[in-house]
Amino acid sequence: MMACGSSSTEVEDEYEKLVIRMNPPRVSVDNNSCKKATLINVQSANKPGSLLEVVQSFM
Protein backbone atom coordinates (compact mmCIF):
# COMPACT_ATOMS: atom_id res chain seq x y z
CA MET A 1 0.00 0.00 0.00
CA MET A 2 1.36 3.40 -0.99
CA ALA A 3 1.59 6.31 1.40
CA CYS A 4 -0.60 9.31 0.67
CA GLY A 5 1.07 11.75 -1.70
CA SER A 6 3.73 9.29 -2.89
CA SER A 7 3.93 8.34 -6.52
CA SER A 8 4.79 4.78 -7.52
CA THR A 9 8.10 6.04 -8.95
CA GLU A 10 9.10 7.50 -5.58
CA VAL A 11 8.24 4.24 -3.85
CA GLU A 12 10.25 2.23 -6.41
CA ASP A 13 13.25 4.56 -5.96
CA GLU A 14 13.11 4.12 -2.18
CA TYR A 15 12.87 0.35 -2.60
CA GLU A 16 15.95 0.32 -4.87
CA LYS A 17 17.88 2.38 -2.29
CA LEU A 18 16.85 -0.09 0.43
CA VAL A 19 17.99 -3.08 -1.65
CA ILE A 20 21.39 -1.45 -2.22
CA ARG A 21 21.78 -0.64 1.50
CA MET A 22 20.82 -4.20 2.47
CA ASN A 23 23.24 -5.70 -0.06
CA PRO A 24 26.50 -3.76 0.17
CA PRO A 25 29.18 -4.75 -2.34
CA ARG A 26 31.31 -7.74 -1.32
CA VAL A 27 34.75 -8.32 -2.79
CA SER A 28 36.90 -11.43 -2.52
CA VAL A 29 40.44 -11.83 -3.84
CA ASP A 30 41.72 -15.29 -4.77
CA ASN A 31 45.43 -15.77 -5.41
CA ASN A 32 45.34 -19.57 -5.05
CA SER A 33 43.08 -20.72 -7.91
CA CYS A 34 45.42 -19.60 -10.67
CA LYS A 35 49.20 -19.25 -10.54
CA LYS A 36 49.35 -16.61 -13.30
CA ALA A 37 46.42 -14.39 -12.33
CA THR A 38 44.50 -12.96 -9.41
CA LEU A 39 40.76 -13.61 -9.40
CA ILE A 40 38.61 -10.82 -8.02
CA ASN A 41 34.95 -11.57 -7.34
CA VAL A 42 32.64 -8.59 -6.82
CA GLN A 43 29.06 -9.15 -5.70
CA SER A 44 26.65 -6.24 -5.50
CA ALA A 45 23.09 -5.20 -6.15
CA ASN A 46 22.27 -4.92 -9.83
CA LYS A 47 22.20 -1.22 -10.66
CA PRO A 48 23.14 0.80 -13.71
CA GLY A 49 26.79 1.81 -13.67
CA SER A 50 27.99 -0.70 -11.07
CA LEU A 51 30.35 -2.49 -13.48
CA LEU A 52 31.80 0.86 -14.57
CA GLU A 53 32.44 1.81 -10.92
CA VAL A 54 34.31 -1.46 -10.33
CA VAL A 55 36.47 -1.09 -13.43
CA GLN A 56 37.27 2.55 -12.65
CA SER A 57 38.37 1.63 -9.13
CA PHE A 58 41.21 -0.46 -10.61
CA MET A 59 42.62 2.44 -12.63
Mean pLDDT by 10-residue block, N- to C-terminus, for the chain (59 residues)? 63 81 84 93 83 85
Whether 50 is covered by a domain: the verdict is: yes
- 24 touches 43 (CB < 8 A): no
- pLDDT on residue 22: 78
Contacts 24+ apart (CB under 8 A), 14-20: 16/47, 19/45, 20/45, 20/47
Note down the domain range covering 25. Answer: 8-57
- 20 touches 11 (CB < 8 A): no
Spatial separation of the C-alpha atoms in residues 56 and 13, rounded to whole Å: 25
Beta bridge partners of 30: 39
Whether 52 is covered by a domain: the verdict is: yes
Overall domain count for the chain: 1
* pTM for the predicted model, two decimal places: 0.55
Whether 29 is covered by a domain: the verdict is: yes
